[in-house]
Structure 1
Amino acid sequence: ITEPADPDRKGYSFAGWYADRNLTDKFSFTTAITGDIILYARWNKESSYEAPGSGSPASGVEVLVNDKAEQDGKASVNEEGGKTVITITVDEKKLTQRLEQENNDAVITINVTTKADEYVTQLSGQMVKEMENKGAALEIKADGAAYILPAQQVNIDALSEQTGNSAELKDIKVQIRISKSAQEKSRLLKESLKNERFTVVVPPVEFTVSGIYRNEIVEINSFSSYVERIIAIPRGYDPAKITTGVIIEPDGTLGHVPTKVVVIDGRYYAKINSLTNSTYSVIWHPREFKDAASHWAKADINDLGSRLIVDGTDRNTYQPDTAITRAEFAAILVRALGIKTSPERRTFTDVRVSDWYYESIETAAAYHLISGYGQGQFGPLDKITREQAMVIINNAMKITGLETDVQAEQLEELLTAYADSGKASKWARSSIAINLQAGIVTGKPGKMIAPQDEITRAEVAVIIRKLLQKSDLI
């Protein structure tokens, strides 16, 4: 049976077809039909309450294009599983016309001023495509949180293929959700805190994007570049006691995501950049290693330890002057970038599934950070040299957006300023020059690059921190 087009009803938004009068059994159009049936439409009344704050639209939703108010969005309120859910829609015809008048890279802001547990912004696939063609981004602001999503990151054409070749863009619904995390995620976060010295600064907030066509839902869980989320810090809280944003994994473990504290209109916010969708929180987790107390890299080591990027050989010991392995370097960089994959196959024959570093190395390979020695070998337990590390950092710069182009004449000029530049391998020279130009690596005393030297744990902390800082991620 073919699903009919959504019906219209003034003052209401359509919420699906149900098989029973009480609207508890949602009907699936894949169900085999053997006789006449009656379906019941579910409607959500569009809100007409007054939103808090002077000048707020009656619907509690304001739509702006490049900070200029264009229209009031429609907001329907529904109770789902004990949660108040606000679903926001816009007049897409008017919005498309407005976009046509703007230059590329416009920002469409949807500002929701009414409190709820979950906010769902819904656009058609065609609207998302129009935004993508103009290089536009969608910014959703609700209850102290914001999600800035470039339309191209939805990749609506690929989404259309996933939902079926017969799907027209106008029939696909794209939903962007910001929600207070479910109790289970909050419980898992509390469990993680029992064994660590964390302070939770803000409760978990979940961000999701999905495409819906008929009864099929496709989750968009990863992006090709960093997507920004902003979470308000409670008023009166000391911003100096914020370490980082974290992602809360399904098992409750925490992982670093690049985060910096910013001030917007006099209030502090955590700006979180991530390549995935998930549940995020903000923590205070001060960490100091005793054996780095008088070390030249003390600030870098302790900052990365506090951010859950590096760990010590025990709680208080970092061993800053010890050389690091290729596996350890890959693991630190993956944590620093806040990336993770679920490996489907082994990339390297000398990296076993049972190895502690297996997932980190597979993630690094999936993001094209590493390629190994060739012939399926990575050498995970080999000590990594400075030039090898700089090649991998150069690859990471492509992910963080810190790409820089070094012409041949500039390359030689940068390298010949160092006495031992002739020792650099041919395959590493360009990457070394790019690291030098970006200021991530500054060389050793005596104007030395030391490309063949093993890189130390302290040096790794310094270059990883510089990568994130110069990429404006922390």
Structure 2
Amino acid sequence: MKPAVLQKTAQVTVLMLIISVLLPVLAFGAGFSSGTSYKKGTVTGQVYLDVYNSVYPSVYAYSPEGTLLDVADVTYSSKDVNGAVYFKFTSDVGTYNYVKLKFNDPNNVNSSVYQTVYRSKNSPGGGGWAGGGSTSGAGEISANSDGSVNADQLISSLNQYNTVTINITGDFALIPAKALVGFTSGGKVIIVKSTNGSYVLPISVLNVKDLASQLSATTDDVNVKVTVAKASQAIADSVASSAKALGGEVVAGAVDFNLTAVGKNNASVAVNLGSNYVSRYLPLPASVDADSATGVLIDTTTNKLSFVPTVFSSTYADLKRNGNSVYAVIKLDKSFGDVSGHWAQNNIELLANKLVVDGVTDTAFEPERSITRAEFAALVVRSLGLTPMTGSSSFSDVESSDWFSSTVNSAVYAKIIDGYEDGTFRPNATINREELAAMVVRALDYAGAKPEVTASEQSSLLAKFSDSDEIVWAEEEVATAIKSGIVDGLTDDTLGARDTATRAQAATMLKRLLTTAKFIN
């Protein structure tokens, strides 16, 4: 009987092993469910535990630089057939390129779970990783002295971590494209870091296969070259001279941030970031006043400095832009005699310090003067840090020789403005408050920070204003501007949508736009 019993036991054991191999692994202890999304300043998603616990986990949301933004409570959602328990959460975090999420597994006090989630405008789909114990959400590797990065080491790190920092001792890193191919939709981030600054590069903004095609190469033969280098002395001197001419001084920089793909025989193409605002960190030698300091780029042809959306911490400046250039931080102390005591004085002076608005003269702003459609289009383009686009215009009344031609082209490209049915833009016509609100809300949408407004919300937001029926065509935009805190009524119950807008009102709306989009402190 013993051989028979042993034989049956062995058969059962083999059967159990086969079943265990065939069955999928259905629980991983704890983690973020797929489908976590980041839209309009809000992160929504689910977390799961494979063992029910009466202690619900809280979800912690952090900014890219590690500042705690929100602690979101979770609520019970469901339980699946395998016993995994799901909890849903909503976290209001504002607008960043990405945020880092974490929760602690109540069933294992030594385990934390991490996920990096990108704003949907920049990285559709996002991605996450569930890890515990001694594993964190970020890792570090070092480039070789010539800037090259070991592909196998990078792949290994990206398999383990959401964010991988590549430390460089020179001016650039050469990142093998073949190491990035498998991570273009996984919410992974590479930070190239040196003493000059850091370039924060979501892999999702790189279409490495397309870059290889442009170079007539395969991804095996392509490197993504990320440059974080001190600008030449001549350019640094130009930045200092231009800042001095504006009445200011350089605080940090100038640093050349550049991004190219390099193939065989050193053939190269620029990497187009599209509409994705990507962060560059410039270290600050000392804390600065965020109201008087600003990030800038320099046009090396004209030596002109332009505003770059910038948020300041005590130790570094986070410059956000969708293009490459030489960047620096300067500080100014602008004021105008005719805004002293004016209700918009602080907003006007802040935006003047950030090179967004100009005075009519060095000492006068004329806050109650009207503003034209072309003038406001130029201010919006500056506020978003867009590069003026040369070329012919789509409007019959905008000539390439007009001072506003390139900014109007940029605003059209970003879908911030459109014209009239007769094909004109009417650049010299004064702008009214309805048009002002519409353009600002479109700019907010371009920045990825436009909130959704339902039909019922729209009715409710407009209902409290007795003159809301005077809005001709932009009901949705005006309601969105009200919800965003960008538009106030002229009085408690009047909007004045058809009233001519003033320079003070324009500056105030732009300041609120930049604050809402997290483009300034």
The TM-score with structure 1 as length reference comes to 0.77
Aligned with residue 295 of structure 2, among 231, 239, 245: 245
Q: How far off is 1:162 after superposition?
A: 2.1
Give the structure 2 partner of residue 176 of structure 1: 226
Matched, 1:413 2:463: no
| CA distance in structure 2 between the partners assigned to 1:366 and 1:234 by the alignment | 38
Farther-moved stretch of structure 1 (376-385 vs 190-199): 190-199
What is the DSSP-based 3-state SS (H/G/I as helix, E as strand, rest coil) of the residue aligned with 2:365?
coil
Cα displacement (A) at 1:378: 0.4
Give the aligned length: 385
Correspondence for 1:398 among 445, 460, 483: 445
Do the aligned partners of residues 428 and 328 (structure 1) sit closer, same or farther apart at CA in structure 2, a change above 3 Å counting? same
1:309 aligns with 2:356: yes
- 2:269 maps to 218
State the partner residue of 1:353: 400
The answer to whether structure 1 residue 130 and structure 2 residue 182 are counterparts is yes
Does structure 1 residue 443 correspond to structure 2 residue 501? no
Counterpart in the other structure of 1:111: 167
Aligned to 1:4: none
Q: Work out whether residues 392 and 399 of structure 2, in 8 Å CA contact, stay in contact via their aligned partners in 1.
A: no
Taking only aligned residues, the RMSD between alpha carbons, in angstroms, comes to: 2.1
- In structure 2, what is the equivalent of residue 330 of structure 1? 377
Q: Matched residues in 2 for 1:395 and 1:218: separation?
A: 31
Distance of 1:409 and 1:147 partners within structure 2: 43
Partner SS for 1:256: strand
Question: TM-score when scaled to structure 2?
Answer: 0.70
- Within a 5 Å distance, the mapping from 1:3-152 to structure 2 comes to 67-69=137-139, 72-77=141-146, 87-90=147-150, 92-100=151-159, 106-112=162-168, 114=169, 116=170, 118=171, 120-152=172-204
Structure 1 segments (4+ residues) deviating >3 Å: 64-70, 97-102, 237-242
Q: Tell me which residue corresponds to 1:190.
A: 240
1:126-148 Cα shifts (integer Å, max 9, x gaps): 22232212121111221051111
**CA distance in 2 between partners of 1:224 and 1:157 (Å):** 19
Unaligned runs of 5+ in 2: 1-133
Letter in 1 for 2:392: R
Question: What amino acid is the match of 1:440?
Answer: I
Give, in angstroms, the shift of residue 368 of structure 1: 1.2
Aligned partners of 1:65 and 1:108 also within 8 Å? no
What is the DSSP-based 3-state SS (H/G/I as helix, E as strand, rest coil) of the residue aligned with 2:313?
strand
Instruction: Write the deviation string for residues 87-146 of structure 1: whole angstroms up to 9, x where unpaired.
Output: 1413x33433453456xxx2222234x4x4x2x112222222322121211112210511
Structure 1 position 187, deviation (Å): 3.0
Q: Kindly provide the amino acid, as one letter, of the partner of residue 414 in structure 2.
A: Y
Residue 276 of structure 1 aligns to a residue whose secondary structure is coil
* Secondary structure of the corresponding residue to residue 180 of structure 2: helix
Identify the match of residue 295 of structure 1 among 342, 349, 364: 342
Counterpart residue number, 2:278: 227
The answer to whether 1:460 aligns with 2:506 is yes
Q: 1:390 to 1:293 in 2, by over 3 A?
A: same
Counterpart-to-counterpart distance in 1, 2:452 and 2:138:
37
CA distance in 2, matches of 1:463, 1:75: 48
Q: Which residue of 1 aligns with 2:21?
A: none
CA distance in 1, matches of 2:246, 2:432: 33
- Give the greater-gyration-radius structure (CA): 2
Q: Decide whether the 8 Å contact of 2:391 with 2:400 is kept in 1.
A: no
Partner amino acid, structure 2, of 1:396: A
Output the CA distance in 1 between the equivalents of 2:362 and 2:203: 43
Distance in 1, matches of 2:272 and 2:249, equals 27
Structure 2 Cα separation of the partners of residues 349 and 271 of structure 1? 40
1:164-221: per-residue Cα shift (whole Å, max 9, x none)?
3xx2222211111100001231232234245321111123001000011213210125
> Partner letter of residue 253 of structure 1?
K
In 1, distance between residues paired with 2:422 and 2:300? 35
